[in-house]
Structure 1
Amino acid sequence: MKKTLFATLVCALAAAATAQDYALYDSPTESGGISITGKRFSLNTASQRGNICDLDGTIKNNQYRDGKGCVVRFHFSGKNLVELEVPESAREACSEYCGMNARFDSAYAVLPAACTEQGEKATEKRFQTAYRAKQYRQAAQIKQQYIASCGKFISFTDRMHAANDLAVSHKNAGDKAACRRALATIKTWLDPEFDPGYIYEQDYQREAKAAAYNLKLCR
């Protein structure tokens, strides 16, 4: 879902050749992105339950003001990272651009080439080739590199899927300790109290079941 929403935003703004596109960064239960062209911006995000934020406007002195109380501060870190901040006094006004419990004040980063749809397909092909050839250590290395590069750009269910792939690769390579370490990185989402939301429910249940099974094999 994260990739779909971001891809939609990018395509909608593709005509602007000078646009800089950013994806939500380190927000595994949210999805979306922002595009900035000169001083103009357009953002679209979705919460874990599918509620949307839509906002566009003009940045002036690293701020956006809608004239109705909504204020958004843009904090740029080089060319690859921007953080959006909504002051406490402006939260209610800015919430008018969002569905229930949705938000857009977060960090956004330029998507690395390895994390684009094309890059991910190439990585997965390399992983599957190594795994099917029983080159399990190589498969684990490929998946670990993917997680290191792209883990903060993908949804929690995709992150769980990657961790399961990594865990199984380590297990088949004979390293059960590394298998357990891989699964430990997703323990937050394996808590019985964690609510994935109805949008992610099916994928979540599949990955949680796989993680529980893999953990038994790695003990």
Structure 2
Amino acid sequence: MNRYLFKVFIFFSIFISSFSFSQVVDGRYLGAGSESDVIIETNDIGQQRFLMNILGGNGHVCFDVAGTIKGNQGLVDDEEELGQCELTFTQKGHILDVNIETYEECRQYCGMRATLEGSYRIPPQACTLNAIALQRQEFQALYDQKQYKDAENILNKLLNQCNFYLDFVAYDAIRNDLALTLYHQDAPELCIEVLTSTIAVDQNAYLPPMEQELYEEIEKAILFNWELCGGE
């Protein structure tokens, strides 16, 4: 290799090594219960950025936490010079795991019961919020027509496919509806079995005050149906 070609080779090697190829796929990833999200986008100059809005326990949040991604390393924008929050993004198909590398620096962006760390997923089409709402409407129409087996099938499919994307209130509300379809099919023992897994029936379950307030209405309905099906 002559001296000129060698210099060109060195120049391009340095250039390529200095350019970080993203290991994270652009998209909107939802946290468990669909109450938190991570949005990954690549801007017009090829820079990949993230925006995180996380809801933790009792209404604590990490609000509008933004930054850049190089490879699989995330750096939160440090406009107030509070210390650099560093994250690692690990892609596994439609699942995105976020880990905190600098704990104290990242804590400043979140309430006490919220954290940037977690597992987030791009939902399948059947598990978007709109799709879930439509399936629950379809269930209600069948239930009102006393087509209980068809109504049961919709809820079983929804729970099997979209369990991760249902918040705790929606999850127990769907299980409560499922229990009723079983009761109307003369299967009270299965009704009890389904309701056993709900928060309302679990005597060891604890909800923070804000979550407990959100849960009160469905809790009353579940306890009523628990007794209806013969629970003690």
TM-score by length of 1: 0.80
Residue in structure 1 matching 2:226, options 197, 205, 215: 215
SS of 2:36's equivalent in the other structure is strand
Instruction: Give the deviation of 1:111 after TM superposition.
Output: 1.7
C-alpha distance 107-208 of structure 1, shift in aligned 2 (>3 A): same
CA distance in 1, matches of 2:159, 2:100: 30
User: Which digits, 9 at most, give the CA deviation of each residue in 1:26-55, with x for residues without a partner?
Assistant: xx5x82101111321111011121121131
Find out whether 1:24 has 2:11 as its counterpart: no
- The alignment status of 1:101 with 2:113, answered yes or no, reads yes
Structure 2 counterpart of 1:51, from 39, 57, 60: 60
Q: CA shift at 1:65, angstroms?
A: 3.1
2:150 is the alignment partner of 1:176: no
Answering whether residue 57 of structure 2 is matched by residue 64 of structure 1, we say: no
Taking structure 2 as the reference length, what is the TM-score of the superposition? 0.76
Measured at CA, do residues 183 and 159 of structure 1 come closer, stay the same or move farther in structure 2, by a change above 3 Å? same
Give the match's secondary structure for 1:162: helix
- 2:164 match: 152
**1:193 CA drift (Å):** 5.3
Q: Does 1:75 align with 2:90?
A: yes
Larger gyration radius, structure 1 or structure 2: 2
Identity of aligned residues (%): 26
Q: For each residue in 1:60-104, what CA deviation from the matched residue of structure 2 results, as whole angstroms up to 9, or x when unmatched?
A: 2311134724221111002x11010114xx211101111222112
Per the TM alignment, residue 117 of structure 1 is displaced from its structure 2 partner at its CA by: 3.2
The ranges of structure 1 where at least 4 consecutive aligned residues each deviate by more than 4 angstroms after the TM superposition are none
**1:204 alignment partner AA:** Y
Structure 1 runs not aligned, ≥5 long: 1-17
Cα separation, 1, equivalents of 2:194 and 2:50: 38
Q: Is the 8 A contact 1:63 1:74 kept in 2?
A: yes
Indicate the residue corresponding to 1:135 in structure 2.
147
Partner Cα separation in structure 2 for residue 191 and residue 114 of structure 1: 33
Q: Which residue of 2 aligns with 1:5?
A: none
Distance in 2 (alpha carbons) for counterparts of 1:97 and 1:201: 25
Amino acid at match of 1:33: D
Aligned partners of 1:191, 1:152: CA distance in 2, in Å?
23
Write the letter of the residue equivalent to 1:146: L
Report SS of the residue matched to 1:53: strand
1:154 Cα deviation (Å)?
Answer: 1.8
Shift in Å at residue 141 of structure 1?
1.1
Question: 1 or 2 for the larger relative contact order (CA 8 Å, sep ≥6)?
Answer: 1
Aligned residues of 1:34 and 1:43 also touching (Cα < 8 A): yes
**Alignment-derived partner of residue 116 in structure 1:** 128
